[in-house]
Structure 1
Amino acid sequence: HESWAVVEEDTLVGLVCVSVDEENLNGWFWYWMAEDARGRGWMSRAAATVANWALTTRGLERLELGHRVNNPASGAVARRAGFIKEGTERQKFLIGGQRIDVDTYGRLASDPQPPINGLVLLED
């Protein structure tokens, strides 16, 4: 599991993570952004930066992610970070007694990097 904090003026405003499947050189990609930090492009830039790193330096060949269809902002982040929608998993989650569809995305090492200004990636 690899994770990065998205920080603004020493305040945690988001996370970008990759859960790695070493055997298949795949990663499950996910992100979270604090509500008051949304809408400024931070997560798209952070997601693109980490995805680029995972598919080059880290040596993974495929990244996957999914988001609930009732969260279109997450899909916009995925597309700006170079992910391609691969389908919809119908009624995947049961939330509050309601079945929710999930859109799935993938990005391959052979896919072009998105035209987005990345962030500085600091590693410990």
Structure 2
Amino acid sequence: MTPVNVRLREWREADAPVVLRAFQAPDLRRQAPWPVVTLKDASGWIASWEGVGHAFAVVEGERVVGNVAVTKLDSHGNGWVSYWVVPEARGKGVAVAATELVARWAFDERGLYRLELGHRTNNPASCRVATKAGFLPEGIERGKLCYEGVRYDVERHARLATD
């Protein structure tokens, strides 16, 4: 795989069309706290990060191709990482590169010690992202998520500042 060159930047109001298009992908629809079906919804999604954590637009060249975030920061130096990539940019290492960048930022700039993330056990692509970005598996959380009446197990991963 060719190394991917991405950078992280703050989300901008002008990115709303990218967010709207991204959340039209069937597997991303559940990643938003509400349905993102209009530009106003997409703008609201961007604005919703204010005060709840740090979300970054993942930029490849001049195109926004994804999101990576650290939320749930606590007094113990822990944070929760999440990521998504638009379908047309998948399979190139974008999510891995962005997750590595946000981890370095969280450890170096925010002084966090432990970062966690989780993925459904039926999502091997997300598992590969986590492990390639240095997040070690820590176990299965049985029946943690429920989508449309179906329960899903989640595999938790973590990366420490000392890893």
Q: What interval of TM-score do these two structures reach, taking the shorter chain for normalisation?
A: 0.7 to 0.9
Does the residue aligned with 1:21 lie in a helix, a strand or coil? Answer: coil
Instruction: Give the one of 41, 56, 62 matched to 1:10.
Output: 62
Does the residue aligned with 2:88 lie in a helix, a strand or coil? Answer: helix
- From the two aligned structures, give the one with the greater helix fraction: 2
Partner in structure 2 of residue 119 of structure 1: none
Partner in structure 2 of residue 95 of structure 1: 147
Shift of 1:96: 2.1
The TM-score with structure 1 as length reference comes to 0.83
Partner in structure 1 of residue 91 of structure 2: 39
The TM-score with structure 2 as length reference comes to 0.64
Q: Any stretches of 5+ residues in structure 2 without a counterpart?
A: 1-52
- From the two aligned structures, give the one with the greater strand fraction: 1
Structure 2 Cα separation of the partners of residues 96 and 22 of structure 1: 31
Q: Please provide the CA RMSD for this pair.
A: 1.3
Structure 2 Cα separation of the partners of residues 98 and 69 of structure 1: 13
Percentage of pairs with the same residue? 50
Give the aligned length. Answer: 111
Q: With CA pairs under 8 Å and 6+ residues apart, which has the higher RCO, 1 or 2?
A: 1
Which residues in structure 2 correspond to 1:17-56 (within 5 Å)? 17-56=69-108
Structure 2 Cα separation of the partners of residues 42 and 94 of structure 1: 27
Partner in structure 2 of residue 78 of structure 1: 130
Structure 2 Cα separation of the partners of residues 73 and 38 of structure 1: 10
Partner in structure 1 of residue 113 of structure 2: 61
- Give 1 or 2 for the bigger CA radius of gyration: 2
Structure 2 Cα separation of the partners of residues 20 and 57 of structure 1: 16
Partner in structure 2 of residue 114 of structure 1: none
